[in-house]
Amino acid sequence: MTKVAESIISEAAKPHYWKSQPLAPNYSLRVEIALWEKDLEAAWVAAGTGSCHRSLLLTLAGKLEPSRPNDAISLYRRVVPIIVEETNNAAYAEAINLIRKLGRLMKAQHQLRQFDDYRAELRARFKPKRNFIKLLDGLR
């Protein structure tokens, strides 16, 4: 195991007063390094192994769009709920922009039905967030 991996694992295992249960190790540094090295496969693996900062996930998704659109779709779908959970109008607008991007990608992949199902899932999951639901309902 590399020194970076050991550092990530030990940091994630440290007890914190606000942690009630162990969290997935944070692989943001690994993803960042892999992106810097332009190694999309290593970045993809690291992003799927543990938690990762959303800006890095969005960067990775953007780089994966041309060659691996389904992986990009997966990352965008992973990030949208995180953004919506911020519970503010700016976050909702950001989430809607990502959902629009998802819609374009999924349409290009002939996944319109899955996109409609995804929107229905979001609507059910975030029903109490009325401002988000209004924006979501405004999508075509």
Summarize pLDDT for 80-106 with one digit per residue, the tens: 999 999 989 999 999 999 999 999 999
59 and 108 assigned to the same domain: yes
| 94 and 35 in a common domain | no
Residue 26 phi, psi (nearest 5): -85, 120
The rounded distance, in Å, linking the Cα atoms of 36 and 53 is 15
Range of the domain at 15: 1-52
| Nearest Cα to Cα of residue 44 among 53, 29, 36, 34 | 34
Total domains, the chain: 2
Q: In which residue ranges of the chain is pLDDT below 50?
A: 16, 18-20
What does the alpha-carbon distance between residue 17 and residue 109 come to, in Å, rounded to a whole number? 45
**63 and 112 share a domain?**
yes
Q: Supply the pLDDT for residue 111.
A: 94
Same structural domain, 41 and 12:
yes
128 vs 13: CA distance, rounded Å: 34
Q: Are residues 108 and 71 in the same domain?
A: yes
Judgement on whether residues 58 and 47 belong to the same structural domain of the protein: no
Output the CA–CA distances (angstroms, integers) from residue 15 to 10, 11, 59, 122, 133, in the order listed. 10, 9, 30, 33, 37
The reported pLDDT for the residue numbered 19 is 47
The reported pTM is: 0.79
- Same-domain status, 6 and 74: no
pLDDT for 106: 95
Q: Alpha-carbon dihedral of residues 80, 83, 86, 89, nearest 10 degrees?
A: -90
Whole-angstrom distance, CA of residue 61 vs CA of residue 131: 26
Are residues 112 and 78 both part of a single domain? Answer: yes
**Both 64 and 106 in a single domain?**
yes
* pLDDT tens digit sequence for 58-70: 999 999 999 999 9
